[in-house]
């Protein structure tokens, strides 16, 4: 898939983190801008962070116009990604449903649908009867604890095979000359007169005029090495998967009130997720109370799957920002860039974020598409709140 | 489930508590400019290892208190109460 190299003394760009963001940025640097003296370094393995642990939901039905435009660009890139990378990423746009169980969530959904439509994104509020037609197994009756009163329906949303995306970008980057260094931990970031000059790793020193932080859950620790503070708190997020059964669930179903979402993979497994663990942590241990709560909530929605067995559960780290939007662009240290704050929703953003970050590196200018997501917005009080669209549904 | 040592009630399941994050010292709102205030609000250490943080025993004694917790292992050291009685004064 990709080759191993000795570390060179210097590169034009060093990218920290071999998740979808780091790998895709390296690929677009080489493919779109001819910058291929690039190293992607990771303390673990390709896709060992959130990019290999997520539930692979893609959608663009966010709340702010900036958010909708940005995520829509990513879904567009995902649509042709298999052909662009010559690697089957198994994108299945099966439709995405966010359920409303009370008036306030229905109100937010109407709002989202209008913002979405204005940006040309297919999104509408539908009734319980229409939900039943899309998901016949769903209990849309009145006699549940939290009756379903409607849903935001987003037909272009769906799921993808996350590993294939990571591997596809890594392989395509490698073919263009990008070097991927696994088991290479960054232990320090060197600066001279407010400018980045390289990184220290467990395998030696590397010089570079541009260093990009793509370390998601670990982003605060890596930025601190350059003396840059981030408004990020790391929370674990858990997920679980069942044994495979015959296909019966086409759409992705999310319930904010019940803190749960479910989809069925092409292999037939049901993939479940929930909200983040309620306290900050760098521990990736799963917990029994997660599975218990998850099961009880999923059964409220789909009582008929009570006999299905959970095969495994896992956790990943999420870099949560105060406004549930990412942080992309420059920092106060010249040459030290960040593409972080991806919280529980950053896999879908990989292609668009990477395309924009590569353009920033190549041209020195921040593309309009990501201008609203700069680090300075926190000090300047310009938050881009996506809480209503990203707190539970990833 | 991790157990949180409430200084009043002893160790209880974390589900009984609300988590209020890293303990920071809150500047007097009228003594700082907006940028400083936002720095206090948003910029967190987010450390990997031992840290001091604020918890609230929502389904118990309803008091705020501080604990030391290791964010890599979730080990906790005993909690200590804040010097004030009223919970509203301590809530951020
Ligand atoms: C359970 C779960 C479900 C999710 N579901 C979805 C979803 O359905 N849809 C969606 O869009 N998003 C989802 N997400 C979020 C998504 O997974 C992340 O936002 C995204 O994968 C972040 O990608 P990344 O490339 O920025 O970082 P990561 O993939 O996390 O990669 C960061 C890398 O940095 C490396 N690193 C850290 N420190 C160092 C260091 N000092 N030196 C070298 N390397 C270092 C790590 O080893 C890691 O490989 C989910 C996350 C989880 C955990
Ligand atoms: Zn108590």
Label residue B11 by pLDDT band (50, 70, 90): very high
Facing residues of A192 across strands?
A: A195
Looking at residue A391, its pLDDT comes to 66
Backbone angles phi, psi at A209, to 5 degrees: -80, -15
- For A193, which DSSP code? T
Report yes or no: A352 and A345 within 8 Å, Cβ to Cβ: no
Nearest CA-CA partner of B52 in B27, B77, B88: B77
Contact: A231, B48; criterion CB under 8 Å: no
Contact: A289, B15; criterion CB under 8 Å: yes
Q: Is A78 within the bounds of a domain?
A: no
Backbone angles phi, psi at B61, to 5 degrees: -75, -5
Looking at residue B30, its pLDDT comes to 87
> Between residues 5 and 64 of chain B, which touch chain A (CB distance below 8 Å)?
14-15, 19, 21-22, 34-35, 38-39, 41-46, 48, 53
Nearest CA-CA partner of A71 in A319, A337, A394, A374: A394
Are residues A238 and A316 located together in one domain of the fold? yes
Per-residue CA distances from A321 to A161, A200, A333, A381 (Å): 26, 27, 20, 14
Look up the domain containing A285 and give its range. Answer: 93-158+233-320
Look up the domain containing B24 and give its range. Answer: 3-82
What confidence tens digit (pLDDT) does each residue in B59-85 have? 999 999 999 999 999 999 877 887 543
Classify B55 as helix, strand or coil. Answer: strand
Q: Is A5 within the bounds of a domain?
A: no
Q: Is B61 within the bounds of a domain?
A: yes
Cα–Cα distance between A54 and A263 in angstroms, integer?
Answer: 12
List the pLDDT tens digit at each of the 394 positions of chain A.
999 999 999 999 999 999 999 999 999 999 999 999 999 999 999 999 999 999 999 999 999 999 999 999 999 999 999 999 999 999 999 999 999 999 999 999 999 999 999 999 999 999 999 999 999 989 999 989 999 999 999 999 999 999 999 999 999 999 999 999 999 999 999 999 999 999 999 999 999 999 999 999 999 999 999 999 999 999 999 999 999 999 999 999 999 889 999 999 999 999 999 999 999 999 999 999 999 999 999 999 999 999 999 999 999 999 999 999 999 999 999 999 999 999 999 999 999 999 999 999 999 999 999 999 999 999 998 999 988 777 666 7
CA angle A189, A194, A196 (to 5 degrees): 35
Q: Is B87 within the bounds of a domain?
A: no
- What is the chain B residue with the closest CA to A290? B1
Distance B45 CA to ligand 1 centre (A): 19
Looking at residue A256, its pLDDT comes to 87
Looking at residue A61, its pLDDT comes to 96
Q: Where are the beta strands (DSSP E) in chain A?
A: 13-16, 38-41, 57-58, 96-100, 124-126, 150-154, 158-159, 179-181, 186-192, 195-201, 204-207, 210-213, 233-242, 252-255, 260-264, 270-276, 310-320, 327-330, 336-340
Are residues A208 and A253 located together in one domain of the fold? no
- Residue A39 sits in a domain whose CATH number is 3.50.50.60
- Residue A117 sits in a domain whose CATH number is 3.30.9.10
- Ligand 1, atom 4, residue with closest C-alpha: A54
Are residues A126 and A32 located together in one domain of the fold? no
Q: At what angle do helices A350-363 and A20-33 cross, to 10 degrees?
A: 50
What residues contact B56, with CB distance under 8 A and at least 6 apart?
B17, B18, B20, B62, B63, B64, B87, B91
Q: Is A1 within the bounds of a domain?
A: no
Are residues A190 and A139 located together in one domain of the fold? no
CA distance B82 to chain A (A): 20
pTM: 0.96
- Residue B64 sits in a domain whose CATH number is 3.30.2270.10
Nearest CA-CA partner of A212 in A230, A189, A187: A189
Q: Is A3 within the bounds of a domain?
A: no
Cα–Cα distance between A19 and A311 in angstroms, integer?
Answer: 25
Supply the ipTM of this predicted assembly.
0.91
Q: Is A60 within the bounds of a domain?
A: no
Domain count, chain B: 1
| Chain A residues close to B45, C-beta within 8 Å | 220
The residues on A that touch B, with CB distances below 8 Å, are 218, 220-221, 229-234, 278-283, 285, 287-289, 322, 378-381
Contact: A234, B71; criterion CB under 8 Å: yes
Residues with Cβ within 6 A of ligand 1? A 16-22, 41-44, 48-51, 53-57, 185-186, 214-218, 222, 237-239, 273, 316, 318, 342, 344-348, 394
Cα–Cα distance between A72 and A367 in angstroms, integer?
Answer: 15
Cα–Cα distance between A331 and A195 in angstroms, integer?
Answer: 10
Backbone angles phi, psi at A272, to 5 degrees: -115, 145
Q: Where are the beta strands (DSSP E) in A106-229?
A: 124-126, 150-154, 158-159, 179-181, 186-192, 195-201, 204-207, 210-213
Cα–Cα distance between A179 and A365 in angstroms, integer?
Answer: 25
Domain count, chain A: 2
Count Cα neighbours of B74 within 13 Å in the Cβ-side half-sphere.
19
Contact: B19, A281; criterion CB under 8 Å: no
Distance B80 CA to ligand 1 centre (A): 35
Label residue B92 by pLDDT band (50, 70, 90): very low
Contact: A287, B1; criterion CB under 8 Å: yes
Mutate to test the interface with B, among A280, A286, A377 (most CBs of B within 10 A): A280
């Amino acid at each position: 898939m990709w080759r191993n190299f000795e570390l060179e003394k210097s590169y034009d760009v060093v990218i920290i983190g071999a998740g979808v963001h780091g790998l895709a940025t390296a690929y677009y640097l080489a493919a779109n801008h001819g910058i291929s003296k690039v190293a992607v370094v990771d303390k673990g393995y390709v896709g060992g962070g959130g990019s290999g642990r997520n539930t692979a939901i893609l959608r663009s039905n966010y709340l702010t116009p900036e958010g909708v435009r940005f995520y829509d660009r990513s879904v567009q890139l995902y649509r042709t990604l298999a052909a662009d990378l010559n690697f089957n990423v198994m994108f299945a746009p099966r439709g995405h449903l966010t359920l409303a169980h009370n008036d306030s969530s229905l109100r937010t959904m109407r709002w989202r649908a209008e913002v979405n439509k204005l940006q040309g994104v297919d999104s509408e509020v539908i009734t319980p009867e229409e939900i039943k037609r899309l998901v016949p197994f769903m209990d849309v009756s009145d006699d549940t604890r939290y009756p379903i009163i409607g849903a935001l329906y987003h037909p272009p949303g769906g799921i993808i095979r996350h590993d294939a995306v990571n591997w596809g970008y890594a392989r395509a980057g490698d073919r263009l000359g990008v070097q991927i260094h696994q088991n290479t931990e960054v232990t320090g970031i060197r600066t001279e007169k407010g400018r980045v000059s390289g990184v220290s790793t467990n395998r030696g020193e590397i010089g570079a005029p541009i260093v990009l932080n793509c370390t998601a859950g670990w982003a605060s620790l890596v930025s601190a090495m350059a003396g840059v503070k981030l408004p990020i708190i790391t929370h674990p997020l858990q997920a679980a998967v069942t044994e495979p059964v015959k296909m019966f669930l086409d759409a992705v179903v999310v319930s904010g009130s019940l803190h749960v979402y479910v989809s069925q993979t092409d292999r037939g497994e049901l993939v479940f997720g929930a909200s983040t663990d309620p306290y900050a942590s760098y521990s990736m241990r799963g917990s029994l109370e997660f599975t218990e709560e998850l099961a009880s909530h999923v059964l409220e929605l789909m009582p008929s799957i009570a006999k299905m067995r959970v095969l495994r559960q896992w956790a990943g780290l999420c870099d949560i920002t105060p406004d549930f939007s990412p942080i992309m662009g420059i920092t106060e240290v010249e040459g030290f860039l960040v593409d972080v704050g991806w919280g529980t929703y950053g896999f879908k953003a990989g292609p668009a974020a990477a395309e924009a970050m590569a353009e920033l590196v190549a041209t020195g200018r921040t593309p309009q598409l990501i201008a609203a997501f700069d680090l300075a917005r926190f000090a300047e009080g310009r938050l881009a709140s996506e809480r209503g669209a990203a707190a539970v549904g990833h | 489930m991790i157990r949180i040592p409430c200084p009043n009630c002893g160790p209880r399941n974390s589900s009984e508590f609300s988590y209020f994050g890293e303990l920071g010292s809150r500047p007097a709102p009228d003594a700082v400019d907006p940028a400083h205030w936002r720095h206090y609000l948003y910029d967190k250490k987010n450390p990997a290892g031992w840290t001091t943080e604020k918890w609230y025993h929502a389904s118990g004694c309803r008091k705020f208190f501080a604990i030391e917790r290791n964010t890599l292992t979730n080990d906790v050291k005993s909690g200590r109460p804040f010097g004030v009685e009223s919970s509203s004064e301590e809530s951020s």
